[in-house]
Amino acid sequence: MLDAFTALTRGTRLVYTRGLRRYVFLPILVNLLVYAAMLAYVLTHFGGWLDSWMAMVPGWLDWLSWLIWPLFVVSLVLIVFFTFSLVTHLIAAPFYGFLAEKVETVATGRAPRDDRGLAKTALDALGREMVKLAYILPRMAVLFVIGWIPVLNLISPLLWLAFSAWIMAITYLDYPMDNNQVSFRDMRRRLSARWWPTLTYGGWVTLITWLPLANLFLLPGAVAASVLMWDRHYRPLAPVAGSSQAR
């Protein structure tokens, strides 16, 4: 059985082989520019955000400030990196969708069910990202609110970590599934049915996003790994009976 770490290792080697690496460098350049701009913005505002959060702590919890402050820092860092990931993936989605298509052809010997070409893949990928955002943002807002509720905010970092793993799995495993005409609802069902490979894969990808600069070169490998995971774990699952495969 293919595990997530092995898939990521194989996928990273695969995307830098001859014939595939030409599809990797443009999304790397795009991500580098976005990361530079967002990092400059965050470094400028991070202190003010943290001061505002600490000002919301009620007086009767002042004695716990030694614990609350680092938890707030961790929560804020998680939110910032999660937002980074959302923005960069939104911009890079057309490139990653096309990369997943090429990887599937090379790695499995068969093309995706829906070979739409570069232009159509790019447009559809942006539309699919909007669907993902509609799923992610309300749940992200709930976690953000929990981060402001006394006592409950103590578990906020753990909730963000679990949520990040799930969302990273959705983000990357959706590329090959979208290429194979799997609806977003059916995709989530398949991920839930294989919850352990899903969360371990998402957890590793989350860890990769935390590696400054290195993540720019490793994330294309995560796209290739998603194709390997799709082919081994999720493709054999039957679609939802009577479900529409509308994108």
Query: Is position 243 within any domain?
Result: no
Query: Is position 239 within any domain?
Result: no
Query: Is position 202 within any domain?
Result: yes
Number of domains in the chain: 1
Q: 9-33, pLDDT tens digit by residue?
A: 999 999 999 888 888 888 788 778 8
Q: Which amino acid is at 39?
A: L
Query: Is position 65 within any domain?
Result: yes
Q: pLDDT value at position 82?
A: 67
Q: 72-89, pLDDT tens digit by residue?
A: 777 667 666 767 767 777
Q: pLDDT value at position 244?
A: 47
The residues, ordered by sequence, that sit 6+ positions from 192 with a Cβ below 8 Å of its Cβ are 198
**What SS3 state is found at 111?**
coil
Query: Is position 247 within any domain?
Result: no
Neighbours of 132 (CB within 10 A): 19
Average pLDDT over residues 163-178: 92
Mean pLDDT of the chain: 81
Query: Is position 10 within any domain?
Result: yes
Which domain range does residue 73 map to?
A: 4-234
pTM, to two decimals: 0.76
Q: pLDDT value at position 190?
A: 96
